[in-house]
């Protein structure tokens, strides 16, 4: 009975996912993950920034077909408006270039944020990563990148 109650509480959480387009394939991976999460019942709004004009229509069609709530190529002020008017409970950020924005938004709106670090981004500037409530790594190389950044403070490794 308690498990069902907790599951209903989790499903009521509203999450804003924020990602920046790049050619690594991570954008498509995040979109596929978002479709799966929405299929499970989580309320999610996907924001993609930096999509080249030549690909914008293609992404719009794909996202509309998948049934995701989304905003494409919106600016800082529009992201703030989404957070303010839609009262999201969590901000999940998938690109290191957006970690500073996430830290600022988290501070302004008193909303926790989750940082996901993917392999292949080749970023070593994790200056604002310490402000994240949680940090997820998709593989060991991304974990090693942030482990080196946070050394000697990283002392827990969880694998599933």
Structural domains counted in the chain: 1
Asked, for residue 9, whether it belongs to a domain, the answer is yes
User: Is 33 part of a structural domain of the chain?
Assistant: yes
Does 78 fall in a domain?
A: yes
Would residue 42 be called left, alpha or beta, if left means φ above 0 and alpha means ψ between -120 and 50 degrees? Answer: beta
Q: What is the mean pLDDT of residues 128-154?
A: 62
Question: What distance in Å separates the CA atoms of residue 142 and residue 118, rounded to the nearest whole number?
Answer: 6
Is residue 157, in this structure, part of any structural domain at all? no
pLDDT reading at 130 higher than 80: no
Task: For residue 39, tell me if it sits in a domain.
Answer: yes
Question: Peptide bond before 25: cis, by omega within 30 degrees of 0?
Answer: no
What is the three-class DSSP state of 119? coil
**Helix residue ranges per DSSP H, the chain:** 2-11, 26-39, 53-66, 76-86, 99-109, 140-150
Task: Encode burial over 115-151: b for 16+ CB neighbours within 10 A, e otherwise.
Answer: bbbbbebeeeebebbebbeebebeeeebbebbbebee
- Residue 80: give its domain's CATH number: 3.40.50.1980
* 79 assigned to some structural domain: yes
Is residue 18, in this structure, part of any structural domain at all?
A: yes
> Does some domain include residue 64?
yes
Q: pLDDT tens digit string along 49-98?
A: 999 999 999 999 988 888 889 999 999 999 999 999 998 998 988 888 88
Q: Which domain holds residue 19?
A: 2-150
Count CB neighbours of 90 within 10 A. 18
Whole-prediction pTM = 0.75
Query: Where do we find the tokens 């292949």?
Result: 120
CB 91 within 8 A of CB 106: yes
């Amino acid at each position: 009975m308690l498990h069902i109650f907790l599951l209903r509480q989790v499903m009521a959480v509203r999450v804003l996912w924020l990602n920046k387009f790049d050619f690594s394939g991570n954008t498509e991976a995040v979109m596929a993950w978002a479709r799966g999460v929405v299929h499970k019942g989580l309320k999610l709004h996907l924001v993609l920034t930096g999509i080249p004009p030549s690909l914008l229509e293609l992404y719009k069609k794909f996202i509309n077909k998948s049934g995701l709530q989304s905003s494409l190529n919106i600016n800082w002020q529009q992201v703030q408006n989404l957070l303010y008017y839609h009262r999201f409970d969590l901000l999940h950020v998938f690109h290191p270039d957006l970690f500073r924005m996430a830290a600022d938004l988290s501070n302004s709106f008193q909303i926790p944020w989750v940082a996901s670090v993917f392999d292949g981004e080749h970023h070593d500037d994790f200056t604002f990563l310490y402000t994240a409530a949680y940090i997820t790594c998709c593989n060991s190389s991304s974990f090693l990148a942030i482990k080196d950044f946070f050394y000697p403070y990283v002392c827990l490794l969880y694998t599933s």
